[in-house]
Each structure stands twice: as C-alpha cells, then as structure tokens.
Amino acid sequence: MTLHYKSLHRALAVVWLFTCLAFADSVSAAGGGPDADQPDFTQGDSIPSGFSHDWNLGPTGARGWIYSHRLETSAARQIRITKVDSGSPADGVLRVGDVILGLSGKEFEGDPRVRFGKAISEAETKAGQGQLSLLRWRDGNTENVLLKIPVLGSYSATAPWDCPKSERVLELGVASLADRVASPSYRAVPITRSLNALALLASGQKQHLPLIKREAEWASKFTTSGYKTWHYGYVILFLSEYVMATGDESVLPGLRRLSMEAALGQSDVGSWGHRFVQSDGRLGGYGMMNAPGLPLTIGLVMARKAGINDPEVADAIEKSAKLLRFYSGKGAIPYGDHHPWIQTHDDNGKNGMAAVLFDLLGEAEHAEYFSRMSVACHGPERDCGHTGNFFNLLWAMPGIARSGHHATGAWMNEYGGWYFDLARRWDGTFIHQGPPQSRPDSYRGWDCTGAFLLAYATPREQLYLTGKGKPVIAEVDSDTAWSLVADGRGWSNNDRNRFYDSLTTVQLLERLSNWSPTVRQRAAEALGRRKEDVSESLVALLESPDLSSRYGACQALQLQRGRGVAAVPALVKTLQADDLWLRVLAADALAGIGQPAKPAIPIMLQRLARSASPQDPRNMEQRYLSFALFNTRGGLLGRSLDGVDRQLLLHAVRAGLLNEDGRARGSFSSVYDNLRFDELQPLLPSIHKAIVEPAPSGIMFADGIQNAGLKLFAQHRIDEGIELLADYARTQKKHGSQKRIVQVMKMLESYGAHAQRVIPQLEATANYFEHEETDFPKNLSRDKANVVRQTIKNLQGATERPALKTLGL
C-alpha cells in the first residue's frame, strides 16, 4: 500500500502538548479514541464500530483484530481474523471470521499479540520445524490447527550479529524490496522511499546499484512545498550515504542544494519546525520540533562527511548540537523546546537519533547516554509515540547498536525479535503496525521494509547509519546489556505504578541512585505516594559523592512535598553546586516543598538574574528558576510576593523577560498580577520590550507574556499600548487567534476615541484576514475580519477619551 504526501501532513498536523499528568493522551497516536468493552467473538460479538485497527500476524499471510485498552493489548485473549492472503501459509487454514483462542492447544494466558509474535519466533527455529499450532474457533467449534511457515532459525544472543536468522531475514527482505522498488508503479512517502534505498545500499549487494542510483537521482532533485524539514533530513541522509558508499559525485549539486536549504532554514536557536524558519529568524506554527530536527542534523553531518563543506552547514550542525547536548543525562529529548522527557526511556526514537548523532560527532559521553536510554526502551514504551510509533521503531536499532553486540542481542531477545517477526509479512517485507489503539495511527500502511531491514543490516557496516567506522562508545558486556534492559521493565501505560509500589522503601531508595532519570523518577513517584518520612535518607543521598544519587534525591524530595522540610538547608546549599542540572533539580525540589522553602528565594532570585555563560549558553538555569519561582501553579512566588526584596525581584524579572524561551517568559505574568502598578513602573520598559520582541524559542507559548503585557497596558491606559495592540492583532500566532482576536479588540476599545488613530491599520488587517491570510481556515479568517470590522465601527462612534499614561520611550 502506498501513501501520498497528504498522509504525512495529517500525521504531523496534530499538536502534542507534553504534560506528565496526561501522558496517556500525549503519547497515543492521533485518533486513538475511547476504549470499547471487550467483545467475546465466541458469543457472537462483533468488532466494535470504529475500532478498525488490526494487526499483521507475521509471515502467516493473515491479519487479525486484537482488543486494546490504554495503548495495550494485554487484557485481550482472542484474535479475530480479518484478512487472509491467497496462496499464503494461512490460506486454507484460516479464514475471515475465525478466532484464535490460543497456541499449542492452550488458551492465551497473556497478551495475545506478544504471545503470537513469540510463537512465530519459536516456530521458525529448527526445533520448531516451521509448525505454528493454533487453537482455532470457527462456527462454534474449537480445534487445533497447524500452520506451516519457513524455518529461518533463532535469534542469537548478539542478534543481529553472528545470527543466521537475521541474515536470512535480511536476504529475503532485500530481494522483495528490490522487486518493489524496481516496479514502474513504485511510489512512496519521501521518508520511507529514502529508507528503502538506504536498506538496499546497506545490504552491500552490488546488483542493486543501478536501482539505488536511480533513487539517488530522484533524491538529488527532490523538493516539496509541504513539511520540508521532515522529508529533507532523510533525503539528505540517503544521498550522503550514497555518495560515500559509491563515490558517485554526480548527485553532489543536489546534495549541496538540499543541505544549504536545511542549514539556512534553521532558527536562530538551532532548531527546526514543521517548515523552515521565517524571515524574522523564528519558527512558525508550533515552533521547535526535535523529531525532524534531529534527522536534519544527522543528515547535515553526513553531508559534511560526503564533501559538503560550506560554513553554513558547519554552523547549523554546531547550533543544533549545542541545543541537543543539554538533554544528555537528564531524560529523553522531548517534542520541542521543553523539559527533558522522563516518563519513558525514549520519546518516539529521538534518543536513538541522538545516539547516532553524537557518535558521528565523536562525543562519547553523550552518545553513550542516549544509546543506553535506547537499550532500556522496549515493550509498552516502544508502542508509544506522537501520532504513532513509526520513528520509535525506526531509530531503535541504530541507537542501540552504538552500545555493541550484547546490547542489540539483549534488546532483540527481550522485545525486537518478536515485534519484528510479527510485522514481517510472508513475502519478507514489513508493514507498520502502530500502537495498540482503536484505530490505525497516522502512519497506517507505511512500508517499514527499509526501516526494519536497516536493523538487520547493521552487522554489514556498509553505512555510517548502521555503524560503519569505529564507534566512540565502549561496547557493553552481556551483564550490563541485560541490566539496561531490566531498567526498562516494570512500567506500562495501563499499569504504571504497581511494580514500583511493590518494592520496599530500601529498594526504591537504591533506585534513586540509578543512572536512568526515568528509573529515578519512577522510584521518586512511588516514594511520594507513601506516607512515611524518608527525609533523613534523602538528605544523606543528597550529600553523596555520586551525581546520579544527588539527582535522585532531588527528584524524590520534590515529590515529598511538605514532608521534605528537613532537607531545605541541604537543598539551599545545593543551589550553589557546580553541576547545572543538580542546581535545577534542587530548585524544583524547593518549589515542591513549598512554603517552608521560602528562605531559598533570595539566592534563587540572584541566580535567575545571572547572564548566560559558556557552560550554560542558553541560560537554562534561568529558565527553570523562572518556573520554580513564578509559575502560578507550584512556583514559590506564583501567588504572592509578600516579603520579597523588591530590588532583587525587579532585577530578576528584567533578566527573565529576556530569556529566549517563550514559556519561561510567560511565567513572569504572575508578577504583573501580584505587584501594584506603582511597583511595576520600573519594569514597564522591559514589559514593553517583551511585547515587541517575542521570544525566539518556545513559540507555542510565546504569546503568553505578550498578552499579559498588553492586558496590563490596556488596564492602566498606557498610550503605547494602542499601537502595540493594533500590531499584535495581525502578527499574533495563528493557532487560537480566532479567539484571541476578540480579547485584543476589547482591549483596544478600552482606549476609547484615542484608538481611532489606528483605524487605517485595522482596516488593512481586516482585509488581510479576509483575502490574504494563508495556512488558516478560511471561515475563521473571515470571522476574525468581522471582529476587527466591528471594532472599527465601535471606535468610529467612540467619544470617551480616558486619561493616558506614557512610557516616554
């Protein structure tokens, strides 16, 4: 099945707003929908209406529907057959409407999706003799039936290295893929088309070079009016690998064009969004998005290796790497310019991408961390992903393989083997399965053949993507590999707490010293749910020489809330620590403790007011201190500024309003609400600047502090607010602007007849909305135009002229 560009655009058009409290919604693919009651097909029940997501059942040639609940199939015990390919192994054994109740004469006692995948893996071994025994229900009768599939062997302890089965899967898949790519009707989304070509190249089979060259010629001419960032990274990556593998420099002009467009399309802070940067150096839409940004950076690094030595490319690589290095050791690389993601060990493959990137850059510390996070991500964690988990599976093996053969073998034997076997069709190709949910995800029907074959081709080391050259990471031994896998156990989206809640307090305290931020967080949350006071143990841990232990202590103290009061002096001391992230976590812990932590406020304000440094070039400490102090929900000063030194406060607010993150600036809106106007007057020039010059990053939230400033100016009739409101009416971000414009116009009307001077500007804005605005629903643009025109009428009839104040700027 082939998908066109529109399917990718649908897949990427959904906003993902991260919140740890709503993880089930944020990680589910678009359109997951509510759960239905589990049907019993042996009692005549049907597949619930609207629940269309079925599964490829490995190389059987059959597909089946499995009940899902909260991104899991663990509660299901039946597989309803939905399709059987003619001539496939299942043909004549299964038919549509059959129900698989179990395996080898026994009913399913666990997740049928997992059990079926593992049964395929077992049947393909020599011992299994290719015999897959199914407990089939048909028309009221239950019987054992035997389905015959080819014997491929078993996964080795270091799969795909030294693994005959992996070699066989690769050979079969490459042969089928080559036939598909050679077909005159071959079409594919640019991402999967590039991955398919990379897989053929990774096989090292010279007979496919003419076909690969044809694909390289397509790639060298590629362009699109759609979401360029998503496509360009993979196209550049393929072209770069092709040039280095073949020496064919005929495509270098195309590679240079694509690379330069990508480099020049980067934002001032080193990020990319759905599209390239706007003329003002800022991203549009949702702003920074790491899912396309990381592949673009990897592609540019590859392009530089292939000979694209333009300084703009080098600058773009370093700007992006500087941005991404921050997340090393702190969690998974998140959706955008957000907090490190610590709910799971990866966030839709971005840690795998980062492991590859930093390995290519020769930065061992960061490559090792992100690779280990990739190894620890398996099971339900890999089923998660924004709008689907395509990228979570694509980037798993490239990231894991940086840690060596034992790491890949442990991961394959824990999870990847059965998952890949279930996704592999009877012709050797692979199909995207998606997360367990009611409807297929946004990548439905995407050809995963190239993506999965790249994993199996890793031992051939033909490409830098698959490990060509000496890795900068030391290979882990078998015990370490399995310990990393174990770190990822004990969590599922449907049952997040039970395993950690079953551990003793001593065991949880031990896990606070784990290398993994995710393990530490799960242990911290479990301790937070208990009533016992562990402050003494946490203070001792906070004073440990081990940095992970100190991190874990802070994570736990934040969730101890008021029980952590005894740790306040130690946390205040920790605010002066050398390690940036330790200082941040200490500030978070103090905010979590709340009122008893207020003695820390002066030192927190002093640190917030500091300028960026070479050790913290994006002033991330200032960003997190802004949240810890001024957020209305949980900030130490979010609801009251009583007793706070006003000079320290004003100095900190002036500095914070310059932070490059829109969300961090937005936290200072609480100051506008909690100070009298006479106290705010020294800040008015800074408030004005924060309105005029939006934050260069955190675009999704950049309007928060602008709106707060405009509201303040209108409330106190500050003359300069009239032009600011008229400008903002047109320049505000489009998302949500149909509601925001109503409030903006009301604020403008509060100036009475004074606002008549901007009527010509408002008329131009109304005309723009109705006739010129793009990338926004036409009906909503017309609605905005009508709101502005009504305001013009109201202003034309206004006679009141309230007294105005001026900034005198």
DSSP string of 410-462, one letter each residue:
HHIIIIIHHHHHHHB-TTS-BB----SSSS--TTTT-B-HHHHHHHHTGGG--
- Measured CA to CA, the distance from residue 648 to residue 602 in angstroms comes to 7
- Measured CA to CA, the distance from residue 137 to residue 287 in angstroms comes to 52
- Measured CA to CA, the distance from residue 303 to residue 318 in angstroms comes to 14
Q: Report the pLDDT value the prediction gives residue 548, as an integer from 0 to 100.
A: 98
Distance of CA 774 to the CA centre of its chain: 27
CATH of domain 54-148: 2.30.42.10
- Measured CA to CA, the distance from residue 722 to residue 308 in angstroms comes to 49
C-alpha distances in angstroms, 89 versus 60, 102, 122, 417, 486? 5, 18, 16, 20, 36
The mean pLDDT of 328-333, rounded to a whole number, is 98
- Measured CA to CA, the distance from residue 583 to residue 573 in angstroms comes to 9
- Measured CA to CA, the distance from residue 336 to residue 334 in angstroms comes to 6
Structure token pair of residue 440? 């297929």
Q: Which helix (H) or strand (E) holds 741?
A: helix 737-749
Query: Who's near 777: CB < 8 A, 6+ residues apart?
Result: none
Q: Report the pLDDT value the prediction gives residue 8, as an integer from 0 to 100.
A: 35
Higher pLDDT, 281 or 750: 750
* pTM beyond 0.85: yes
DSSP string of 99-133, one letter each residue:
EEEEETTEE--S-HHHHHHHHHHHHTSTTTTTEEE
pLDDT bracket for residue 16 (50, 70, 90): very low
pLDDT tens for each residue of 93-102: 999 999 999 9
Q: Report the pLDDT value the prediction gives residue 35, as an integer from 0 to 100.
A: 65
Reply yes or no on whether the pLDDT at 315 is more than 60.
yes
Q: Report the pLDDT value the prediction gives residue 157, as an integer from 0 to 100.
A: 98
Reply yes or no on whether the pLDDT at 30 is more than 90.
no
Average pLDDT across the chain, whole number: 93
Q: How many residues does the chain have?
A: 809
pLDDT bracket for residue 688 (50, 70, 90): very high
Among the listed residues 275, 245, 251, the one whose alpha carbon sits nearest the alpha carbon of residue 261 = 275
Write phi, then psi, for 308 (nearest 5 degrees). -90, 95
pLDDT tens for each residue of 524-559: 999 999 989 999 999 999 999 999 999 999 999 999
pLDDT tens for each residue of 427-484: 999 999 999 999 999 999 899 999 999 999 999 999 999 999 988 999 999 999 999 9
pLDDT bracket for residue 7 (50, 70, 90): very low
- Measured CA to CA, the distance from residue 803 to residue 588 in angstroms comes to 44
Structure token pair of residue 101? 């109740």
Reply yes or no on whether the pLDDT at 761 is more than 80.
yes
The mean pLDDT of 691-711, rounded to a whole number, is 91
Q: Where are the beta strands (DSSP E) in 305-364?
A: none
Query: Who's near 347: CB < 8 A, 6+ residues apart?
Result: 332, 333, 334, 335, 341, 385
The mean pLDDT of 793-805, rounded to a whole number, is 96
Domains of the chain by residue range = 54-148, 164-487, 497-593, 598-681+693-702, 717-809
Looking at the domain 497-593, which fold is it? Leucine-rich Repeat Variant (1.25.10)
Reply yes or no on whether the pLDDT at 68 is more than 80.
yes
- Measured CA to CA, the distance from residue 557 to residue 579 in angstroms comes to 18
CB 40 within 8 A of CB 79: no
Among the listed residues 373, 350, 354, the one whose alpha carbon sits nearest the alpha carbon of residue 363 = 354
pLDDT bracket for residue 27 (50, 70, 90): very low
Instruction: Tell me the torsion sign for CA atoms 145, 148, 154, 160.
Output: negative
Q: Report the pLDDT value the prediction gives residue 22, as an integer from 0 to 100.
A: 35
Looking at the domain 164-487, which fold is it? Glycosyltransferase (1.50.10)
DSSP string of 495-551, one letter each residue:
BSSHHHHTS-HHHHHHHTT-S-HHHHHHHHHHHHHS-S--HHHHHHHHT-S-HHHHH
Reply yes or no on whether the pLDDT at 10 is more than 60.
no
